[in-house]
Amino acid sequence: MPHYKYSGRDGTGALVSGSIDAGTADDAAAQLFSTSVTPIEIKQVEKKKQQDKKSAAKKSRLGPDATTIDHINAFLAKKTVEIDELIMFSRQMYSLTKAGLPLDRAIKGLQASLTNPMFQDVLEDVVNGLENGMSLAAALGQHPKVFSQLFLSLVHVGENTGRLELAFQEISKYLVLEKNTRKQVKSATRYPIFVLVAMAVALAIITVFVIPVFSATFDRLGAELPWQTVALINTSDFVINYWPLLLGAISGSIAGFFAWVGTEKGRLTWDKKKLGFPLAGDVFERVALARFARTFSMVMGAGLPIVQGLTVVAGAVGNAFISLNVHGMRESVERGETLHRTAINSEMFSPLVLQMIAVGEETGTVDELLAEVADFYDAEVEYDIKRLSDAIEPILISFIAGLVLILALGVFLPIWDLNTAVQ
């Protein structure tokens, strides 16, 4: 992730500076705004030296007497913080802050109970930041890969309003919903992926080991082969003779695709195309809109200004194309348009959702009605995923039947004619 140096002014008007990790300069600015820092200058810099220092510091923690097993365990240790760990952290912080425990003591206690070395290092940095006079949101903001913009913004609002325990409670609720959404999407894609992988393995075994045996038999008989068998034999010969090139081409294509998606333009194009996929496109869109409604409801309920709230929401929807539309909504609100009008212009929402947003603006209950919108989209996602599973099953069965038919015709037609070939 790119590294940025910034200078700006905090809530008291004092000049502050530092560094931050973020996907783009806009993301860096959003993180700074969430910590009440108004950026003056943001400049991208190389962070190789800083990474080398951190890695050297982590290696030094093993100590000079560390055994080979210690180094292997350190290498195999988890390099990410799972959502389950963040949920547990948020729930425990809710309980500890509600009990009135000082933040540094609370985080130190949680750090000692963790089994994830990476999360322990993160919390150690957070404690150091707190001891150096940083706010909790600013200390957590040193690790944007672990704590999202939404997480930081809610913590910041909780600190400023004296309701930090409620902020952690809302965060834990949101993370649980996010976990359930991911689980639903994975459950819908697990079956087709498993079937496709199994079919790919079966085809590879047949192509490399089975068809060459039949090919040698047919060559000895000198029989005239049907076109289905000729196609299978030619495919098998091509795969056997040129498998290194095929493997390289497939690996290069996969690596090139992920490198392209890793760029800002590639991510935007891919996320836009995903929304147009047959059957699955509606699921991707409604998942992103559910995140939008849920996140926006939370930041509005927490008291964030609507412009800053839309900035936070744009980074939480999980789709670059919809995020771009949310940024467009923010710009329209900055120009003085109503939220309902900007929602209409975005062309993302159904008439029912637009009506609920309009009523929410008129009655001052946007956060409550957006929570209803999120529940509506969650129900739609659950229905769409069930429909997707029901639709994929016959498609996969038809695909498998077609492959079996081709193999059967290619392999068994010549066998049926063996008697004629022998005569």
Position 138 pLDDT exceeds 50: yes
Q: Which of 46-50, 200-204, 349-353 shows the lowest mean pLDDT across its residues?
A: 46-50
The pLDDT assigned to 11 comes to 66
Q: Which of 52-56, 163-167, 368-372 shows the lowest mean pLDDT across its residues?
A: 52-56
- What are 183-196's pLDDT values in tens digits? 877 777 777 788 88
Position 56 pLDDT exceeds 50: no
| pLDDT-based confidence at residue 1 (cuts at 50, 70, 90) | low
| Mean pLDDT along residues 279-301 | 82
Position 51 pLDDT exceeds 60: no
Q: Which of 26-30, 85-89, 281-285, 339-343 shows the lowest mean pLDDT across its residues?
A: 26-30
Looking at per-residue pLDDT, the higher value among 419 and 286 belongs to 286
| pLDDT-based confidence at residue 59 (cuts at 50, 70, 90) | very low
The three-state DSSP-derived secondary structure of the chain is CCEEEEEEECCCCCEEEEEEECCCHHHHHHHHHHCCCEEEEEEEECCHHHHHHHHHHHHHCCCCCCCHHHHHHHHHCCCCCCHHHHHHHHHHHHHHHHCCCCHHHHHHHHHHHCCCHHHHHHHHHHHHHHHCCCCHHHHHCCCCCCCCHHHHHHHHHHHHHCCHHHHHHHHHHHHHHHHHHHHHHHHHHHHHHHHHHHHHHHHHHHHHHHHHHHHHHHHHHCCCCCHHHHHHHHHHHHHHHHHHHHHHHHHHHHHHHHHHHCCHHHHHHHHHHHCCCCCHHHHHHHHHHHHHHHHHHHHHHCCCCHHHHHHHHHCCCCCHHHHHHHHHHHHHHHCCCCHHHHHHHHCCCCHHHHHHHHHHHHHCCHHHHHHHHHHHHHHHHHHHHHHHHHHHHHHHHHHHHHHHHHHHHHHHHHHHCHHHHHC
Global pTM reads: 0.66
